[in-house]
Amino acid sequence: MKRLVLVRPAGPRNVGMALRIAANFGPLEFFVVSPQRPSLLIHPEFEQMAHGVDGMAERICVVDSLPAALADIQHAVGFTARARDQRLRLDWREVRDELAQRQERLALVFGSEVNGLTGAEADLLQDLVHIPTSTEHTSLNLAVSVGVVLSHLFTERVERVDFDGLSAATAQEREFLKARLRKVFGGQVARSESARKDIETSIERVFSRAPLETRDARAWHKMLTALGDSSTPADFGLNPNPRRRARRADACERAAQDEERT
């Protein structure tokens, strides 16, 4: 199942149109993170643009943070027109077929119409992608960007690829592994403050972005246990067993519960 995530959207028209596009090219889950207007989902312009979509507002899960929207996601892709911190941005034309064939829980993340994704938000995503345009006008409207992406990822006519049952780690599983790595290598192995910062920065960069299967995560946990660490997810305030195949309503409920605990 794919999940569309709009981060800090400003306009009810864009969200309404994105919801209509999601209905055109679904099924998929629809999350909105910290909308800039609390009344956005009952605004007349939202209802106008989403006209014809059954249960319009009920289809959308609203959460307060991007981590909450990604908690049970296995791979998150952000769409941005701007280069960030020397990170490689992939060309949409080169990755769209592979993304269409992914069978894991995939998040498609779009930033605000005003200023896009922040650096901190981009750091939570495994890949950053840009949609090429003509030089005459390089800025794409938010809803148009969503339409470009979802129309190609529509899977009814796309031949799926068998990934031999391999399972990618979810965002929560990544966070647990990173927390243990920071505790052991940053807190116990590093011999200076500068070394600790370098180690923790590297852990964040590598383990947030690199492909990570659950079997790889288990191998790292075994190494950390052998080094004397017995931490559990609860020690870091994490949910140890997020359900991967939950339906949209269950995912939304879990996200809300996680936010209440924090």
Per-residue pLDDT band for 154 (boundaries 50, 70, 90) equals confident
Per-residue pLDDT band for 165 (boundaries 50, 70, 90) equals low
* C-alpha distances out from residue 151 to 27, 158, 214, 244, Å: 12, 11, 30, 25
With respect to residue 111, please indicate whether it lies within any of the assigned structural domains.
Answer: yes
With respect to residue 55, please indicate whether it lies within any of the assigned structural domains.
Answer: yes
Residue where a domain terminates, one of 94, 129, 157: 157
> Are residues 152 and 193 part of one domain?
no
With respect to residue 259, please indicate whether it lies within any of the assigned structural domains.
Answer: no
Q: What is the percentage of the chain residues whose pLDDT exceeds 70?
A: 86
With respect to residue 255, please indicate whether it lies within any of the assigned structural domains.
Answer: no
Q: Please give the average per-residue pLDDT across 215-232, as a whole number.
A: 88
Q: What pLDDT digit, counting tens, does each position of 166-209 carry? A: 688 888 888 899 999 999 998 888 889 999 999 999 998 889 88
pLDDT given at position 256: 59
> Are residues 104 and 61 part of one domain?
yes
Higher pLDDT, 97 or 255: 97
> Are residues 89 and 134 part of one domain?
yes
pLDDT given at position 251: 65
pLDDT of 257 strictly over 70: no
> Are residues 212 and 134 part of one domain?
no
With respect to residue 43, please indicate whether it lies within any of the assigned structural domains.
Answer: yes
Whether 171 contacts 255, CB under 8 Å: no
Q: What pLDDT digit, counting tens, does each position of 75-122 carry? A: 999 999 887 767 889 999 999 988 888 878 999 999 999 889 999 999
CATH number of the domain residue 138 falls in? 3.40.1280.10
Report the Cα–Cα distance between both ends of the chain, in Å, rounded: 27
> Are residues 87 and 10 part of one domain?
yes
Q: Are strands 127-130 and 75-79 parallel, antiparallel or unpaired?
A: parallel
Residue where a domain terminates, one of 157, 186, 201: 157
Residue where a domain terminates, one of 106, 130, 157: 157
Higher pLDDT, 245 or 198: 198
> Are residues 70 and 140 part of one domain?
yes
pLDDT of 25 strictly over 80: yes
Name 60's bridge partners: 30
Predicted TM-score (pTM) of this structure: 0.68
Residue 37, Cβ neighbours under 10 Å: how many? 13
> Are residues 115 and 227 part of one domain?
no
Q: Please give the average per-residue pLDDT across 4-19, as a whole number.
A: 94
With respect to residue 162, please indicate whether it lies within any of the assigned structural domains.
Answer: no
> Are residues 98 and 60 part of one domain?
yes
Residue range of the domain that includes 80: 2-157
90's tokens: 């992939």
> Are residues 121 and 14 part of one domain?
yes
> Are residues 113 and 74 part of one domain?
yes
Q: How many domains does the chain have?
A: 2
pLDDT given at position 158: 43
> Are residues 108 and 224 part of one domain?
no
**Averaged pLDDT score across all residues of the chain:** 84
> Are residues 200 and 140 part of one domain?
no
With respect to residue 85, please indicate whether it lies within any of the assigned structural domains.
Answer: yes
Of 120-129, 177-186, 208-217, which range is least confident? 208-217
With respect to residue 221, please indicate whether it lies within any of the assigned structural domains.
Answer: yes
